[in-house]
Amino acid sequence: MGGVKKKSLASMEKKQDSTATEQGTEEKGKKTKEKQGPQQQKRLPFLPPRATEAEMIKALTPLKAITVFSASRALGVNASIATGVLRGLEEKKAIKRQGGFSGHAIWSVA
């Protein structure tokens, strides 16, 4: 009939005192955090390359099939920015979507 042994009075008092002091410090810490107010997360802005549309199309023209990754290499930007640039060029009718599936589109110069 094993089980947890009953602790002595002295050890129970120590445990009770230590939890009371920990709760007291946590409450003080919470109060100071509430006084500071909500923290705002920094967002990185969308930074397209500093090239004009004509320069971007000139860089993409030699590519047989324009994908996000080939465009990112040609423009010298990361893939997320290249996706935004390609969608912007597609809206302006500078490039035309030829195919692709599941988020992996393929474009060609119009």
pLDDT tens figures, 51-96: 888 999 999 999 999 999 999 999 888 888 899 899 999 999 999 9
The total number of structural domains that make up the chain: 1
Q: Tell me if 109 sits within 8 A of 95, measured CB to CB.
A: yes
- Domain limits at 71? 53-109
86, part of any domain = yes
CATH of the domain at 98: 1.10.10.10
Which of 31 and 88 is assigned the larger pLDDT? 88
pLDDT tens figures, 32-50: 555 566 666 554 445 667 7
101, part of any domain = yes
pLDDT for position 58: 92
Decide: pTM greater than 0.75. Answer: no
